[in-house]
Structures are given as C-alpha cells and as structure tokens.
Amino acid sequence: MTLSAAEVNHLKHAPVVDGVLPAILHRWSPRAFDGRPVSPADLNRVFEAARWAASSSNEQPWRFIVGVHGSDTYNKIFSTLVGFNKAWAGRVPVLIVGVASAKSSSGKPNAYALYDLGAATAYLTLQAAALGLVSHQMGGYDHDAARQVLEIPDDFSLGSVVALGYQAEPATLANDQLIDREVAPRERRPLHDFVFSAWGTPADLA
C-alpha cells in the first residue's frame, strides 16, 4: 500500500536536532503537488525572505521570474522542463526561475552571483517550509530555451527552476518510478564526511 501524504511527510522530516530551526528539518523536495493555488500573501512572504539573503558586496544579484498556473509565464517555464520533470510538474501551482546578474554594479564580473542566488533560493524554500508549503528545485530544464522564451539577458546566469505549492498524496503521481522516489527515506552524509579541521580530517565538534 502506498503511504499517505502525511506519512511521507513524517518519513522525510530530518531527525530532531536540538537548536536547529524546524523549517530546516521539515524542508524536503516532493514531486506530488496539490493543484491548490498559493496565496499572493504567501508568495510575497517567500520572496521577502529571499530578499534578505546575504550577498557579496550587497549586490543582491538574484532575479526571480514567477509563473502562476495557467499564466503565459507558467506555460513558458513548463515548456522548457525535461520530460521526467514534465511528468510530475503539471499540477504545481507556481513555477519560479532564478537567475543572477553575472556582472556587478561596477560592470566587473561577479564571481559569487550564482552562490548568492543559491542563498536567496535557500531562504525562499525555508520560508515556504515554515508556511506549510513545499518546494522542489530542478536543474532538469533546457537553459537555452528558457533564456529565449523568457527573454533573459545574456549577462544573467541561470539557476534552478523551483516548483512551489502544497504536498499531495503520492498516489497522484504518474507512474511507479515517481511514487518510489516520493516514498523513499531521505539520506544525508554524516558531518564527519564534510566538516574538516584539516583536509580529509574530520573536525571535533564535541
């Protein structure tokens, strides 16, 4: 029997770690989305969170192109997704393309533009989790097509497409492969794999 949305949500939550923000532990990336619309107030809140992300020299290089289901912008973004993502993303109420200015305000290259876009997008997804929304970031789309149909200038670098909305039952997904991924337990590397005191030497955090 396929797990319910509530059961999957519980399964995907990270173990409780004392002092870690609940939104971080609760955020995960479903593919089963309810078609229920996201309110303009909540959209405003997630972008307000992104607005306050840190950025190199306070350049704030991020820009977000937002498509609400049924709009021309939504259809353009959806048209650029690869087939695997199209198989589940059609019910997503909001699709967002993140881009970053590759040049600083002085006209020089901004080496940290995509890094800063990633930080702003992380804030967005965490605020979404705090509001009871879910998100799923996708690299699987045609960047050249997106640049063309969305008229993105050449001096902006493309980040991910973010699906934003509400979690649905896993059984609403189109095939068993998608359902299997939806209900699989989450895995993360242990801290000693990536927190070092010297290269390859795990830091002592005790």
Give the model confidence (pLDDT) of 75-118 as tens digits.
999 999 999 999 999 999 999 999 999 999 999 999 999 999 99
Are 149 and 80 in contact by the 8 Å Cβ rule? The answer is yes
What band does 160 get if pLDDT is binned at 50, 70 and 90?
A: very high
What is the percent of the chain where pLDDT is above 90? 97
What band does 1 get if pLDDT is binned at 50, 70 and 90?
A: low
Are 111 and 52 in contact by the 8 Å Cβ rule? The answer is no
Average pLDDT over every residue of 50-68 = 98
Give the chain's domains with CATH numbers: 5-202 (3.40.109.10)
Per-residue pLDDT, 154: 96
Q: Work out the mean pLDDT of the chain and round it to a whole number.
A: 96
Task: Point out which residues pair with 68 in neighbouring strands.
Answer: 94
Per-residue pLDDT, 206: 84
* Alpha carbon distance 10, 13 (integer Å): 5
pTM for this entry: 0.95
